[in-house]
Amino acid sequence: MSTSAPAPPRASALRLREEVRAPDEAAVVRIVEETGRFSPPEVEIAAELVREALRGGAASGYRFVFAERADRMVGYACFGEIPLTRGSWDLYWIAVSPRCQRDGVGARLLGVVEQRVGAAGGRRLYVDTSGRPDYAPAHAFYARAGYAAAARLEAFYGPGDDKLVYVKVLRGDG
């Protein structure tokens, strides 16, 4: 036997889940608030999307992936096919608890979303985000994941707050 110190306890494994459950609404609100990035109306919309998925299931147009560690939610993504398009999907929301933002949770979530969209025949996955300089970590995250900036709408969110539209082409249009 080795006399070296025991290994540190490993971080609990990350578990991903796609079924939406009633307690998810409160957990989503907690995560979105923890990030400190979202205004109260934005938090309310994040909660509303969970409620819509609970009420309407697949017909709601909102699908989720939740990331959990030791039964505690540490991040989630919400996505869906954009109505009136053929094969364009939107990543409506992705958020990770600040403590877990260097653990690759976001990339895991995004990878699952892309798999699901691709399996459903999706051609393109879009993400809207703010162009503000304090969103640079988000921009770098999408660039690393293979997303390209497709449009910038000046002052869309407010004065000095552009909207950036990122897109990843998941399959050709042929």
Binding site for a copy of itself (CB under 8 A): 39, 41-42, 45, 82-88, 123-124, 126, 150-161, 165, 167, 173-174
Least distance CB 85 / a copy of itself (angstroms): 5
Residue nearer to a copy of itself on the CB measure, 134 or 173 = 173
Residue nearer to a copy of itself on the CB measure, 107 or 148 = 148
Least distance CB 109 / a copy of itself (angstroms): 21
Asked if residues 166 and 149 have their Cβ atoms less than 8 Å apart, the reply is yes
Least distance CB 39 / a copy of itself (angstroms): 8
Least distance CB 52 / a copy of itself (angstroms): 14
| Residue keyed to tokens 């950036």 | 164
Residue nearer to a copy of itself on the CB measure, 43 or 100 = 43
Least distance CB 132 / a copy of itself (angstroms): 13
Residue nearer to a copy of itself on the CB measure, 69 or 139 = 139
How far apart (Å, rounded) are the C-alpha atoms in residues 129 and 121?
A: 24
Residue nearer to a copy of itself on the CB measure, 107 or 155 = 155
Residue nearer to a copy of itself on the CB measure, 60 or 88 = 88
Q: How remote is the C-alpha of 11 from its chain's centroid?
A: 22
* Per-state percent for the chain, helix, strand, coil, to nearest 5: 35, 35, 30
Asked if residues 128 and 164 have their Cβ atoms less than 8 Å apart, the reply is yes
Exposed/middle/buried for residue 127 (C-beta within 10 Å: 0-12, 13-18, 19+): buried
DSSP 129-162: EE-SGGGHHHHHHHHHTT-EEEEEEEEEEETTEE
Q: Classify residue 101 by its DSSP letter.
A: T
Least distance CB 158 / a copy of itself (angstroms): 4
